[in-house]
């Protein structure tokens, strides 16, 4: 019989003892506490890795084993990866700028080392010698071997030495450019000051927010803070206010990042050419579910075409609403009108007021409700413990255990509210990847969720919009993916799945917050907890979502096609930087959605180009798969509270990570052939 400690009495040591009893290790990261120690942390990680690689490379070729070659290589990589992930978290979330900058510089050194590792010929020759012997391996071992040898080919190890060296040099340059692009986004600021009159319609709770009202009576809106931008874009009655916001937000990081992005695009194309690929997109997509850039472009363009009638109808609905509102029959819909009139449409036609719904989603109750829900459907137990280290005040630490066996599964940190200098979006940051240690014990994973939800005020708790709740469920899905994945090798852990599948597990979980039975388990008016969201409001939410899904999906398609457009161009050399990234991206926006606000450059602030390059399409690719999987819950008599289906989702999708082809994992969960029909129904296209 499993026994559990109460949250009040549980300590990290208790969970570490429980892990030890199950031949596992629960070791929390040891974060550097000073800028100097951040530099030392990177140096120590590299020193340890170099010793390990030296031992690996000097083995007697006649005595090579899988454990002494590929498994050892995986563990060495994991050590450096963990150090990088922890430094990356500090670089994005530590309150002290010097610490952020130092951690970022140290992280760049680790990234450069990782690129160089692909070109360690002594290590390559040992791994190749073992692989050439055609050893008898189990499926996961063979998969690790095959993918690592493929990685060597993709790094250019088959090239002549001089060409290989040039590719290595260019890849290191690329790493530095990607970091520069990301830093410019993170450091971009967009303060705009408005009068109370100019912000008419904007909720009072926003105007009363910390740092918004200024001593002179004006109000400061930070265009780089997403919830600031959304509050004004959706609610400001003054069109000029919305336009000014759109311009400033659309110019964030422009001064620095347009040049950086031009170099990035050209350099990626040059590297792809040297490795024998037509384009960078083909190079990137080769190892994903889609396999080729042509397949992705067809996928995206087919959706653009299929959605055109619905998109056009939605745009005319919003334009008509503007015409009525402004009393101008020939009113033209502008980019800065979309959020405002969509919000107005939801309120007037579907009786959905996103601001009024906030009262049902106080942050703490929503978080607790999500935990309780996932405990039920996935068979888990979450326990808060005192964190031995917080990179910023307010960071929380939780342990995760299996509810049936009490076996610890991992841990996660929560850093949920905005502050100066912090990463300004929402994401899961891995801290430690789980995997098998050399002594046979399992090293349990640790994750961190870094978000920017509205902070509580003196008289009110943090109140989330329904969209915020969707984001919370989505991002925590990544946390669960990282913790529930139980792969022997780090290269096969949860996030190592193909990039166009990595969003599937988290996107699946977004659907829970659209279900009345689920919402009733935690959503209640914080002023009177007996009041739940009415069924008709939830039905209206769904109708409203579908009523604007044409635009929402086309917007996603525009982003994906911008990403592809920039990465399907061949290059003669890295010096070819003549591509006009702003003109090309704005042309895609104009064709697929609306002509962008004049004098703006969306791509300068499109952070996904730093890590999802030639991969943004994956969100919609994953959406099609996700909706097919979700349809199984919709068919179940227990609906989204079906614990049996939840366990199947945990076992067949989350737990297996990249230990097998993800298509096989989806098939095993579904137990039937895949179908696109659930996605078409989701966007409102009748099949």
Q: Which residues are catalytic?
A: 475
Tokens at residue 195, please?
A: 């009068």
**C-beta neighbour count of 518 within 10 angstroms:** 21
Report DSSP letters for 584-602, one per residue. Answer: HHHHHHHHHS-PPPTT--G
Tokens at residue 405, please?
A: 């066996």
How far apart CA 687 and CA 681 sit, in angstroms, is 7
Tokens at residue 351, please?
A: 């009786």
C-alpha gyration radius of the chain: 25
How far apart CA 353 and CA 119 sit, in angstroms, is 56
The most distant pair of C-alpha atoms in the chain lies apart, rounded to whole Å, by 85
How far apart CA 170 and CA 159 sit, in angstroms, is 14
Backbone angles phi, psi at 191, to 5 degrees: -75, 135
Q: Which residues contact 320 (CB under 8 A, 6 or more apart)?
A: none
Report DSSP letters for 58-109, one per residue. Answer: TS-GGG--TIIIIIHHHHHHHHHHHHHHHHHHHHHH-S-HHHHHHHHHHHHH
For the chain, the residue count is: 687
Query: Which stretches does DSSP call E strand in 250-395?
Result: 380-385
Query: Which stretches does DSSP call E strand in 203-342?
Result: 219-222
Q: Which residues contact 601 (CB under 8 A, 6 or more apart)?
A: 250, 251, 254, 258, 581, 582, 585, 586
Tokens at residue 510, please?
A: 């977004």
Tokens at residue 676, please?
A: 């696109």
SS3 83: helix
How far apart CA 58 and CA 401 sit, in angstroms, is 41
Closest CA to 370 of 263, 521, 514, 220: 521
SS3 134: coil
How far apart CA 605 and CA 596 sit, in angstroms, is 14
Distance of CA 105 to the CA centre of its chain: 22
Q: What angle do CA 509, 511, 515 make, to 5 degrees?
A: 125
How far apart CA 54 and CA 31 sit, in angstroms, is 27
């Amino acid at each position: 019989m499993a026994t559990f400690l109460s949250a009040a009495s549980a300590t990290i040591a208790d969970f570490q003892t429980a892990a030890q009893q199950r031949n596992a290790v629960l070791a929390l990261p040891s974060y550097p506490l000073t800028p100097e120690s951040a530099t030392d942390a990177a140096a120590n990680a590299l020193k340890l890795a170099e010793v390990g690689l030296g031992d690996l490379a000097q083995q007697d070729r006649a005595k090579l084993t899988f454990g002494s070659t590929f498994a050892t290589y995986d563990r060495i990589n994991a050590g450096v990866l963990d150090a990088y992930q922890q430094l990356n978290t500090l670089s994005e979330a530590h309150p002290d700028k010097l610490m952020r900058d130092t951690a970022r510089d140290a992280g760049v050194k680790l990234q450069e080392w990782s690129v160089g590792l692909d070109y360690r010929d002594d290590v390559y020759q040992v791994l190749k010698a073992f692989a050439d012997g055609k050893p008898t391996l189990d499926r996961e071992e063979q998969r690790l071997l095959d993918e690592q040898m493929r990685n060597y080919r993709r790094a250019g190890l088959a090239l002549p030495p001089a060409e290989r060296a040039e590719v290595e040099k260019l890849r290191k340059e690329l790493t530095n450019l990607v970091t520069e692009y990301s830093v410019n986004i993170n450091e971009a600021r967009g303060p705009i000051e408005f009068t109370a009159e100019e912000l008419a319609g904007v909720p009072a709770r926003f105007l009363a927010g910390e740092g918004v009202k200024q001593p002179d009576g004006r109000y400061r809106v930070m265009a780089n803070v997403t919830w600031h931008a959304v509050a004004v874009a959706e609610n400001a009655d003054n069109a000029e206010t919305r336009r000014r916001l759109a311009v400033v937000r659309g110019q964030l990081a422009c001064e620095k990042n347009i040049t950086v992005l031009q170099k990035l695009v050209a350099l990626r194309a040059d590297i792809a050419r040297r490795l024998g690929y037509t384009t960078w997109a083909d190079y990137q997509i080769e190892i994903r579910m889609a396999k080729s850039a042509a397949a992705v472009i067809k996928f995206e363009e087919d959706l653009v075409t299929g959605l055109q009638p619905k998109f056009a109808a939605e745009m005319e609905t919003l334009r008509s609403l503007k015409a009525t509102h402004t009393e101008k029959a020939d009113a033209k819909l502008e980019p800065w009108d979309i959020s405002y009139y969509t919000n107005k449409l939801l309120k007037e036609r579907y009786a959905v007021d996103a601001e009024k719904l906030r009262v049902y989603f106080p942050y703490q109750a929503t978080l607790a409700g999500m935990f309780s829900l996932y405990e039920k459907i996935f068979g888990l137990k979450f326990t808060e413990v005192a964190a031995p280290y917080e990179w910023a005040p307010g960071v929380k630490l939780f342990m995760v255990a299996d509810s049936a066996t009490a076996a610890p599964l991992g841990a996660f940190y929560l850093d949920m509210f905005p502050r100066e200098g912090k990463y300004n979006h929402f994401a899961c940051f891995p801290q430690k990847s789980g995997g098998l240690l050399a002594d046979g014990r399992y090293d349990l994973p640790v994750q961190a969720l870094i978000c920017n939800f509205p902070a509580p005020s003196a008289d009110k708790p943090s109140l989330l919009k329904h969209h915020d709740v969707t984001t919370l469920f989505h991002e925590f899905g990544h946390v669960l993916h990282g913790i529930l994945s139980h792969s022997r090798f780090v290269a096969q852990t949860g996030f190592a799945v193909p990039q166009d599948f990595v969003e599937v597990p988290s996107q699946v979980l977004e659907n829970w917050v659209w279900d009345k039975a689920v919402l009733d388990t935690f959503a209640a008016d914080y002023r009177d907890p007996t009041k739940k969201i009415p069924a008709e409001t939830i039905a209206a939410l769904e109708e409203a979502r579908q009523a604007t899904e044409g635009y929402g999906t086309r917007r996603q398609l525009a982003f994906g096609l911008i990403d592809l457009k920039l990465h399907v161009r061949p290059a003669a050399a890295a010096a070819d930087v003549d591509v006009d990234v702003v003109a090309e991206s704005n042309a895609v926006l104009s064709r697929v959605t609306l002509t962008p606000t004049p004098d703006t450059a969306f791509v300068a602030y499109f952070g996904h180009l730093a890590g999802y390059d030639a991969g943004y399409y994956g969100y919609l690719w994953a959406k099609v798969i996700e909706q097919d999987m979700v349809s199984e819950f919709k068919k179940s008599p227990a609906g989204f509270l079906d614990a049996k289906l939840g366990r199947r989702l945990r076992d067949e999708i989350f737990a297996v990570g990249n230990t097998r082809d993800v298509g096989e994992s989806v098939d095993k969960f579904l137990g039937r052939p895949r179908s696109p029909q659930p996605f078409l129904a989701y966007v409102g296209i009748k099949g």
